[in-house]
């Protein structure tokens, strides 16, 4: 059974400003770095064989944090780059909503109706996600444990494919939190999802020896992340 642990990159400056990034980039924030470090500690119990990452610098930075001192290959994989959003990249989501509400609604809720503005269609992204899953399935040992760092829309495409849902459901079925785990497994010729938006791997034993200070520190991360996710859930980018 192949285990594929996918995550969305840590929070970036543009995430905190509610700007659409696409294939443009902004750096990880302090929160984004700290959240990635927290996830790295939780992944320490997994004997990873390699890591795939989107070519976006924010994903590569997150991947390096998650890998830590592991001496494993880091493969930059174009097929899991974020969606090319053309002229939308860099603008605030609220401005997009205000100036072109019909297109914004299609982007947010009806991916099958969205007309690209100089970038990719959602079907283009689904095709890339499908190619990535096929590559991992065909090129990995049957007991491989693999980490992947990607983006919101790519993970929505991957979950849609695994659940055999139509394109129209891609954006509304599952929200994608940052630096949480989407655990996919490949067995008997098919991909399945074991968990989504999980704070730790399925096989991790609860850290019962965590100090109260660490628990308090992590609660602060949770409070900040929950506020961010509530806003992101409105825009879903």
Structure-derived torsion over alpha carbons of residues 7, 114, 18, 161, reported in degrees to the nearest 10 = -10
Distance CA 143, CA 48 (A): 11
Closest CA to 234 of 93, 113, 103: 93
193-210: average pLDDT: 66
User: How confident is the model at residue 234, as a pLDDT?
Assistant: 56
Give the least confident one: 13-17, 79-83, 124-128, 201-205: 201-205
**Mean pLDDT for all residues in the chain:** 89
pLDDT in tens, 159-170: 999 999 999 999
Domain boundaries, the chain: 2-235
78-84: average pLDDT: 98
The superfamily in CATH containing domain 2-235 is Phosphoglycerate mutase-like (3.40.50.1240)
Q: How confident is the model at residue 208 (pLDDT cuts 50, 70, 90)?
A: very low
Distance CA 228, CA 157 (A): 22
199-222: average pLDDT: 47
Checking if the pLDDT of 207 tops 50, the result is: no
Checking if the pLDDT of 223 tops 90, the result is: no
User: How confident is the model at residue 174, as a pLDDT?
Assistant: 85
Give the least confident one: 15-19, 69-73, 196-200: 196-200
Q: How confident is the model at residue 69 (pLDDT cuts 50, 70, 90)?
A: very high
User: How confident is the model at residue 113, as a pLDDT?
Assistant: 96
pLDDT in tens, 125-150: 999 999 999 999 999 999 999 999 99
- Residue of higher predicted confidence among 33 and 199: 33
Checking if the pLDDT of 226 tops 80, the result is: no
Distance CA 65, CA 174 (A): 26
116-123: average pLDDT: 95
Q: How confident is the model at residue 173 (pLDDT cuts 50, 70, 90)?
A: confident
- Residue 167 · residue 112 · CB < 8 Å: yes
Percent of the chain past pLDDT 70, that is, above it, reads 85
User: How confident is the model at residue 214, as a pLDDT?
Assistant: 40
Q: How confident is the model at residue 232 (pLDDT cuts 50, 70, 90)?
A: low
User: How confident is the model at residue 192, as a pLDDT?
Assistant: 97
| Alpha-carbon separation of residue 34 from 12, 40, 153, 159 (angstroms) | 12, 10, 23, 26
């Amino acid at each position: 059974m192949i285990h594929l642990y996918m995550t969305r990159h840590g929070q970036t400056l543009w995430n905190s400003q509610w700007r659409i990034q696409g294939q443009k980039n902004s750096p990880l924030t302090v929160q984004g770095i700290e959240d990635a470090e927290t996830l790295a500690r939780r992944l320490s119990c997994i004997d990873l064989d390699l890591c795939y990452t989107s070519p976006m610098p924010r994903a590569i930075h997150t991947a390096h944090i998650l890998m830590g001192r592991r001496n494993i290959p880091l493969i930059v994989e174009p097929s899991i780059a974020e969606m090319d959003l053309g002229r939308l990249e860099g603008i605030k989501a609220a401005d997009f909503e205000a100036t072109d509400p019909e297109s914004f609604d299609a982007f947010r809720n009806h991916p099958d109706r969205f007309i690209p503005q100089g970038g990719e269609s959602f079907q283009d992204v689904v095709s890339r996600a499908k190619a990535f899953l096929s590559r991992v399935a065909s090129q990995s040992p049957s007991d491989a444990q693999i980490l992947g760092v990607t983006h919101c829309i790519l993970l929505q495409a991957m979950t849609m494919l695994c659940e055999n849902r139509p394109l129209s459901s891609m954006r509304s079925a599952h929200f994608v939190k940052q630096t949480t785990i989407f655990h996919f497994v490949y067995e008997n010729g098919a991909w399945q999802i074991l968990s989504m938006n999980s704070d730790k791997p399925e096989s991790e034993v609860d850290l019962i020896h965590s100090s109260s200070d660490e628990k308090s520190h992590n609660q602060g991360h949770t409070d900040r992340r929950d506020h961010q996710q509530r806003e992101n859930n409105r825009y879903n980018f």
